């Protein structure tokens, strides 16, 4: 299949190094390379250079702010980590492209926070954990409801600071902490079993713990790990 070749040119714009890549696209896009602060511009094939310069100049406030953040990121590179399903990943911060949403992505070895400021890390991380837990939760709840013969009326994910889960026996509603996505999956499974057992035994008495142990024999070790 044919097509026009991309062209890449390195230029100076407003005293900053910029790499302009011309593509068969309609709109312009602006990003900042995190390792050295170079402006990365994608532009339509026939757009005049003068239009590209005006585009960058109109976004100069955004550029200067995020180049400053990029410099701070380079100074702290490799010092921060985040946990996902029990595995520790180094964090890299990167400003989103102009007009892009803040988000978190992973390439399998690094977790990339596309944020406008590192102070937003916690808020974004909480939302990320919620989505990760929501993605896997049906697999584990269906597994343990089938094994135990118990079923919740509703499973909810909450950002909970002081507990991993809770169960309202009267309504059969179970809530799980979004932060479980930071721990190994066996911790999530233990909490699911724990809360389901409250549908048989409301309190934490000997009968309750015997029920938990019948489905999760190593629950004591898991609890120790979760207390960290």
The reply to whether 68 falls in a domain is no
pLDDT in tens, 165-177: 999 999 999 999 9
144 and 190 co-located in one domain: yes
Q: What is the pTM for the complete model shown?
A: 0.67
20 and 59 co-located in one domain: yes
Domain count along the chain: 3
143 and 219 co-located in one domain: yes
Which two tokens mark 176?
A: 């799980």
Contact 159, 130 (CB under 8 A): yes
Choosing from 15, 37, 63, the residue where a domain stops is: 63
Among 38, 39, 37, which Cα is nearest to 29's?
Answer: 39
107 and 23 co-located in one domain: no
Residue 163: DSSP 8-state: -
Determine the Cα–Cα distance for residues 34 and 95; give it in Å rounded to an integer.
Answer: 8
pLDDT in tens, 26-59: 899 998 876 677 889 999 998 999 999 898 888 8
Range of the domain at 89: 74-124
The reply to whether 144 falls in a domain is yes
CATH of the domain at 165: 3.30.2010.10
155 and 222 co-located in one domain: yes
Q: Judge whether residue 150 has pLDDT over 90.
A: yes
CB atoms within 10 A of CB 36: 11
Determine the Cα–Cα distance for residues 213 and 194; give it in Å rounded to an integer.
Answer: 9
141 and 221 co-located in one domain: yes
The reply to whether 211 falls in a domain is yes
Residue 107: DSSP 8-state: -
Write out 4-43 in H/E/C secondary structure: CCCEEEEEEECCEEEEEEEECCCCCEEEECCCCCCEEEEE
The reply to whether 69 falls in a domain is no
Q: Judge whether residue 1 has pLDDT over 80.
A: no
């Amino acid at each position: 299949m044919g097509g026009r070749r991309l062209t890449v040119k390195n230029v100076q714009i407003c005293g900053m190094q910029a790499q302009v890549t011309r593509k068969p696209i309609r709109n312009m896009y602006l990003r900042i390379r995190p390792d050295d602060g170079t402006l990365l511009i994608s532009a339509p094939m026939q757009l005049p250079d003068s239009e590209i310069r005006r585009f960058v100049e109109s976004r100069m406030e955004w550029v200067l702010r995020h180049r400053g953040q990029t410099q701070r990121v380079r100074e702290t590179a490799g010092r921060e980590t985040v946990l996902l399903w029990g595995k520790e990943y180094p964090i890299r911060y990167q400003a989103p492209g102009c007009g892009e949403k803040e988000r978190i992505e992973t390439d399998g070895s690094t977790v990339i926070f596309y944020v406008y400021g590192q102070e937003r890390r916690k808020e974004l991380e909480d939302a990320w954990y919620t989505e990760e837990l929501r993605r896997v939760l049906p697999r584990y709840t269906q597994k343990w409801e089938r094994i135990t013969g118990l079923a919740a009326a509703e499973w909810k994910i909450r950002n909970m600071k002081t507990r991993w889960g809770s169960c309202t026996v009267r309504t059969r509603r179970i809530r799980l902490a979004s932060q479980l996505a930071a721990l190994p999956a066996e911790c999530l499974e233990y909490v699911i079993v724990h809360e389901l057992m409250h549908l048989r035994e409301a309190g934490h008495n000997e009968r309750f713990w015997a029920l938990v142990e019948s489905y999760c024999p190593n629950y004591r070790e898991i609890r120790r790990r979760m207390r960290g």
